[in-house]
Structure 1
Amino acid sequence: MNPLRLPRLVVTGLSGGAGKTINSLGLTRAWVEDGRTVAPFKKGPDYIDAMWLGLAARRPASNIDPFFMSDDTMRAVLHDRALGCDVAVIEGNRGLFDGMDVEGSCSTASVARALEAPVLLSLDCTKMTRTAAAVVAGVANFEQGVRIGGVILNRTAGERHRAILRSAIEQYTDVPVLGALPKISPDPIPERHMGLVSNREYAGQEDILANLARIMRENTDLDRIWSMACSAPTPTLPVPALWPAPAPEPDVIIGYVRDDALWFYYEENLEALRRAGARLVKLSLVDDAPWPTIHGLYLGGGFPETLAARLSANTAGRERVRALADAGLPLYAECGGFMYLGKSVTFEGKDHPMAGVLDIRTVFEPRPQGLGYSEAVVDRENPFHPLGARLVGHEFHYSRCVADGAEQPTTVLDVVRGTGTIAGRDGIVRDNVFAGYMHIHALGAPWWAPHFVAAARRFRDEGA
Structure 2
Amino acid sequence: MRAVNDRPRLVLAGLSGGAGKTILTLGVCRALAAAGLRVRPFKKGPDYIDAAWLGLAAGCDATNLDPFLLPAERLPSLFLEKSQDADIAVIEGNRGLFDGMDVAGSCSTAALARQLDAPVVLILDATKMTRTAAALVAGVAGFEPGLRLAGVVANRTAGPRHRAIVRESIETLAGVPVLGLLPKISDNPIPERHMGLVSNREHAAVDAILDGLAALVREHVDLDRLVALAQSAPPLPDLELPPPPAPPGPDAPVIGVVRDAALWFYYPENIEALTRAGARIVSVSILDPAPWPDLDGLYLGGGFPETQVAALADNRVVRERVRALSASGLPIYAECGGFMYLCQGLEVRGVTYPMAGVYPITTTLCARPQGLGYSLARVVRDNPFHPAGTLLHGHEFHYSRCQAALDCSPLPGPEAFTLAMERGVGMCEGHDGLLTGNTFAAYTHIHAEGAPHWAPNFVAAARRYAARRRG
TM-score tier by shorter-chain length is: over 0.9
Distance in 1 of aligned mates of 2:77 and 2:349: 44
Shift of 1:73: 1.3
The match for 2:422 is 416
| TM-superposition CA deviations, 1:286-335 (whole Å, max 9, x none) | 11011000100000000000000000000000000000000000000000
* Structure 2 residue 456 is matched with structure 1 residue 450: yes
Distance in 2 of aligned mates of 1:398 and 1:64: 24
| TM-superposition CA deviations, 1:14-47 (whole Å, max 9, x none) | 0000010011000000000100010011000000
Structure 1: segments with no counterpart, 5+ residues? none
Q: Which moved more, 1:73-82 or 1:13-22?
A: 73-82
The match for 1:431 is 437
Shift of 1:70: 2.7
The match for 2:22 is 21
The match for 2:325 is 324
Preserved contact between residue 247 and residue 276 of structure 1 (Cα < 8 Å): no
Distance in 2 of aligned mates of 1:62 and 1:101: 25
Distance in 2 of aligned mates of 1:423 and 1:377: 14
Over 3 Å off, 4+ runs: 242-250
Q: Residue 171 of structure 1 aligns to which amino acid in structure 2?
A: T
**SS in structure 1 of the partner of residue 306 of structure 2:** coil
Shift of 1:205: 0.7
Shift of 1:191: 0.9
The match for 1:288 is 289
Shift of 1:200: 1.1
Distance in 1 of aligned mates of 2:153 and 2:32: 17
The match for 2:466 is 460
**SS in structure 2 of the partner of residue 80 of structure 1:** helix
Distance in 1 of aligned mates of 2:212 and 2:469: 53
Distance in 2 of aligned mates of 1:2 and 1:314: 48
Structure 2: segments with no counterpart, 5+ residues? none
The match for 2:9 is 8
* Structure 2 residue 347 is matched with structure 1 residue 346: yes
The match for 1:240 is 240
- Does the C-alpha gap of structure 1 residues 242 and 119 become closer, same or farther in structure 2, counting only changes over 3 Å? farther
| TM-superposition CA deviations, 1:426-452 (whole Å, max 9, x none) | 000000000010000000100000000
The number of residues matched between the two structures is 463
**SS in structure 2 of the partner of residue 307 of structure 1:** helix
Shift of 1:6: 1.1
Shift of 1:243: 5.2
Task: Please give the TM-score of this superposition, normalised by the length of structure 2.
Answer: 0.96
Distance in 2 of aligned mates of 1:271 and 1:323: 27
| TM-superposition CA deviations, 1:138-197 (whole Å, max 9, x none) | 101111111011100000011111111001111112210000000011011111100111
Preserved contact between residue 188 and residue 208 of structure 1 (Cα < 8 Å): yes
* Structure 2 residue 375 is matched with structure 1 residue 374: yes
Distance in 2 of aligned mates of 1:258 and 1:463: 24
Shift of 1:242: 4.3
Task: Please give the TM-score of this superposition, normalised by the length of structure 1.
Answer: 0.98
Distance in 2 of aligned mates of 1:343 and 1:86: 49
Identity %: 59
**SS in structure 2 of the partner of residue 343 of structure 1:** strand
Shift of 1:246: 5.6
The match for 1:141 is 142
* Structure 2 residue 392 is matched with structure 1 residue 391: yes
Preserved contact between residue 329 and residue 459 of structure 1 (Cα < 8 Å): yes
| TM-superposition CA deviations, 1:255-307 (whole Å, max 9, x none) | 01000000000000000000001000000011101100010000000000000
Q: Residue 241 of structure 1 aligns to which amino acid in structure 2?
A: L
The match for 1:162 is 163
Q: Residue 184 of structure 1 aligns to which amino acid in structure 2?
A: I
**SS in structure 1 of the partner of residue 69 of structure 2:** coil
Q: Which moved more, 1:247-256 or 1:51-60?
A: 247-256
Q: Residue 427 of structure 1 aligns to which amino acid in structure 2?
A: G
Preserved contact between residue 3 and residue 84 of structure 2 (Cα < 8 Å): no
Q: Residue 115 of structure 1 aligns to which amino acid in structure 2?
A: L
